[in-house]
Structure 1
Amino acid sequence: MRDIQHAMQTFLEEKVREGSERGLQLAVYYRGELIVDAFAGIADQASGTPVDGDTLFPVFSTTKGVAATVIHLLAERGQLDYDAKIGDIWPEFGVNGKEEALIRHALYHTTGIPHMPTGIGVADLSDWDKMCAEIARLTPQWPPGEHMEYHAITYGWILGEIARRVDGRAFSQILKEDICDPLGITDMYVGLPDGMEHRVALLEEPGFVPPSVDEDRPQAIPAWISPLHEWMNTPAARRACVPASNGIMSARSIARHYAALLPGGVDGVQLLPNSRMKLATAPLRLKDGVLLPRGMGYEVGQENSIIGPRLEAFGHGGYGGSIAFADPGQDLAVGFTKNLYSQNDAGSSIIGELKNRLGIA
């Protein structure tokens, strides 16, 4: 396996040299062993700081897979049931047409509240209680469970507050104590602690063009938070806790998290039993019978997906190109982080090269 480490290290360096990437990391567990721990490029062009294995990267919606794992851990302990009404746990939420919304609906992005509340701004994203109060007052755009529309940011406060209500601990504390500590992970955060700013890669998105939106209509990602890369380059954004979209972590940490969800786990730690993961990764079937490639909080495999074609594979990608996933059929877990967001993204070619080297179709 030493050959694959060298091969992938060389491949990453080539992507930096050709300009398709600036700074990036790739970590891969295969059959329970860390076989690739590669990194290349620059974390911050202004300072010239090189990327190393300890560099932290904002990963946007790749965070959602970790948030899902938190919920499934609580379910496995009997602290919550997927079919429990959210309003029974969080009474303020069970109003304005959300009375029948279930935890299952939140995990599947079917609660009907994909759009952010109006009348708030960037500063409010750091105020957990205010954001949860605003989310709780929202009126769903369809009856919960009837339609799936990606809850780009609201997902995080819905699930994070459910976790806090049933457990009593803040989301970031559950993440540290129940996922990071058992696995020896020291570089996975949703809410960056003081003293860590120097380790975070600076995001770049040359040629960014603001999307054309009607600012008078509710938006899943409001114009005032755009460009996203600029928001995540600010200390306030990094220190906030937004479990849908502002995780900051290394490729090593997110790959290890997914390795611990595979049968047998990693280094003697399996976060959830196989039976729980089978439930968690069951594809969404809507009331009209349509089957969608989305598990409870995870994306699942489908044809032409970077995760792979098998439904049993699961993970989540993020804005800009970060990705992390596990494939039980191949005993494979991957974490990929980066800081240059462009049309020349090399993520697919990097994962493709990895799978070719491993002989995985």
Structure 2
Amino acid sequence: MPDAQAQIQKQLDQLVNEDRECGLQVAAYHKGKLITDACAGHTDASRNTPVNARTLFPLFSCGKGATATMVHRLVARGILDYDRPIATWWPEFAANGKHAITLRHALDHTAGLPYLPPETDLTKLCDWDAMCSAIARLAPAWTPGTRSEYHAITFGWIVGETACRATKLSFQQLLKQEILTPLGLRDFFIGLPETEETRVAQLENATPLAPLPPPPPPGQLEAIPHWLFPLSHWMNRPDIHRACIPASNGIMTARDLARHYAALIPGGVDGVELLPPASLRRILESNTEGHGFGYARGRADSAMGSARPTCFGHGGHGGSLGFADPDHHLSVAFACNRLHTSDSGESRRKIIKTIRQILHAED
């Protein structure tokens, strides 16, 4: 669709020329076809290297959506079950009152485990086995299923290790088997190979950094520990790029992220549907607000540009986003390397609104 490509490219160029953004990628699929794959700007503050279609962007929590998709595929084949205790596959997880926590609780952010283990540091954060062992020793902060609180970083290990135990595969092996290989994705990483490091855009902040948060009182746990701030600095570290932290360190292109969501819409992309229609219906018919079954859902103020609860996806800190809108056969991904203080970035909303107007895909 040349009109979509030209209009989106013009908007991206304008955002960069007005210095409202540094580097950007936007991709969209409609009815299984790539209708725009645009980019503009530069990979870092030096403005020496232009962004291209294969520049990799650190997109923080955008990896949560793919992690959820991986689990839904395993449920569809009977390897996992939403309503069985996680300890069915991961026996050590039952410790300290977690025996009744189910995979559904984890996907819906109601498991009661949003806080990192108190002994976590940067070294342990990059060690999959160490983090899973520490999480298995935690006690839930509330009765599972009775309260929802965003599991900002722990989500990936809880859901991911459950899938690994059930299949006896590593997280990267599962990601490749369930999503990357079926879709032919070359630029989608949770755990970046060192050989790809030079392709990663460097993050910067849209506004001067606020003073760092003070350390919490002794004994108080944190979902995102104070020592990770500023998050732009954390996600610019090569050791963090190489780690496998599925809830927080997805690194990818907008095109691959949009293709992942296109494959979740009935009809799929290039003949590939990642989920059977019955699985997708089960997810979208769930009575949930905010985050449910591993995805954020459409609502009145959603950056996805739709209040329909059938619109689903996941954003990342600072403004990145990927989503699917099955009602309009549309998927969109937005990647940026200038982090905005509000995740409801004006640039993202403007671009998504334009795509929806071109396709007459507005509510």
TM over 0.5: yes
Contact 2:109-2:292 within 8 A present in 1 as well: no
Q: For the residues of structure 2 that align with 1:71 and 1:255, how far apart are their CA atoms?
A: 19
Task: Identify if the C-alpha distance between structure 1 residues 300 and 346 changes in structure 2 by more than 3 Å, giving closer, same or farther.
Answer: same
Preserved contact between residue 188 and residue 250 of structure 1 (Cα < 8 Å): yes
Q: How many angstroms apart in 1 are the aligned matches of 2:195 and 2:46?
A: 20
Is 2:348 the counterpart of 1:347?
yes
Mapped contact 1:182–1:269 kept (Cα < 8 A): yes
Q: Does 1:274 align with 2:271?
A: no
Partner of 2:190: 190
1:302 pairs with 2:299: yes
Q: CA deviation at 1:359?
A: 2.0
2:117 aligned partner: 117
Equivalent residue for 1:317? 315
State the alpha-carbon separation in 2 of the partners of residues 252 and 196 from structure 1. Answer: 17
The partner residue of 1:233 within 232, 236, 241 is: 236
CA distance in 1, matches of 2:139, 2:358: 49
Q: Is residue 256 from structure 1 mapped to residue 259 from structure 2 by the alignment?
A: yes
CA distance, structure 1, for counterparts of residue 35 and residue 134 of structure 2: 45
Instruction: Note the C-alpha offset of 1:46.
Output: 2.9
Amino acid at match of 2:105: H
Summarize deviations over 1:69-99 as a string: whole Å, max 9, x none. Answer: 0100111111011011011211111121111
> In 2, distance between residues paired with 1:232 and 1:258?
24
Is the Cα contact below 8 Å between 1:97 and 1:143 reproduced in 2?
no
User: Which residue pairs with 2:16 in the alignment?
Assistant: 16
Which amino acid in 1 is paired with 2:34? L
Determine if the alignment matches structure 1 residue 293 to structure 2 residue 290.
yes
List structure 1 segments (4+ residues) > 4 angstroms apart after TM superposition. none
Amino acid at match of 1:249: M
CA contact (8 A) 2:45 2:204 kept: no
Whether the aligned pair in 2 keeps the contact of 1:293 and 1:311 (CA below 8 Å) is no
* Inter-partner Cα distance in structure 2 for 1:310 and 1:345: 20
Aligned letter for 1:346? S
Specify which of 213, 216, 221 is matched with residue 214 of structure 1.
216
After superposition, give the CA deviation of every residue in 1:192-249 in whole Å (9 maximum; x if it has no partner). 0121011000001141223456253111000111111111111110000001010100
Distance in 1 (CA, whole Å) between partners of 2:357 and 2:303 is 13
Determine if contact 1:151/1:220 at 8 Å carries over to the other structure. yes
Partner amino acid, structure 2, of 1:354: I
Letter of the aligned partner of 1:318 in structure 2? G
Q: In the aligned structure 2, how far is the partner of 1:47 from the partner of 1:268?
A: 40
TM-score normalised to structure 2 length = 0.95
TM-score, L = length of structure 1: 0.95
* SS in structure 2 at match of 1:145: coil
Cα displacement (A) at 1:348: 1.3
Asked if the contact 2:107/2:294 (under 8 Å) is kept, the reply is: yes
- The alpha carbon displacement at 1:345 in A equals 4.8
Q: Is the 8 A contact 1:215 1:223 kept in 2?
A: no
Secondary structure, aligned partner of 1:324: strand
1:149-164 superposed matches below 5 A: 149-164=149-164
Aligned 8 A contact 1:201 1:339 in 2: yes
Letter paired with 1:353: T
Kept in 1, the 8 Å contact 2:41–2:50? The answer is: yes
CA–CA distance in structure 1, aligned partners of residues 214 and 73 of structure 2: 40
Q: Which residue of 2 aligns with 1:41?
A: 41
Aligned equivalents of 1:356, 1:86: Cα separation in 2: 43
The 1-side partners of 2:285 and 2:297 are apart by 8
Q: SS at 1:95's partner residue?
A: helix
Task: Determine the C-alpha separation between the residues in 1 that align with 2:103 and 2:50.
Answer: 42
Deviation for aligned residue 1:255: 0.3
Name the aligned partner's letter for residue 301 of structure 2: N
Letter in 1 for 2:325: D
Q: Which moves more between the two structures, 301-310 or 65-74?
A: 301-310
Runs of 5+ unmatched residues, structure 2: none
Residue equivalent to 1:180: 180
Distance 1:110 1:274 in 2: 26
Name which of structure 1's ranges 120-129 and 335-344 shifts more when overlaid on structure 2. 335-344
User: Equivalents in 2 of 1:267, 1:215: separation in Å?
Assistant: 53
- 8 A contact 1:20–1:345 mirrored in 2: no
Q: Alpha carbons of 1:47 and 1:260: their partners in 2 closer, same or farther (altered >3 Å)?
A: same
- Given that 1:21 and 1:345 are in contact with CA atoms closer than 8 Å, whether structure 2 keeps it comes out as no
Q: Which amino acid aligns with 2:294?
A: G
Could you list the runs of 5+ residues in structure 1 that have no partner in the other structure? 285-290
Contact map agreement 2:29 2:332 (CA 8 A) in 1? yes
1:8, 1:225 → 2: CA distance?
34
Take 2:348 and 2:215, find their aligned partners in 1: how far apart are those partners? 28
Q: What number of residue pairs does the alignment pair up?
A: 355
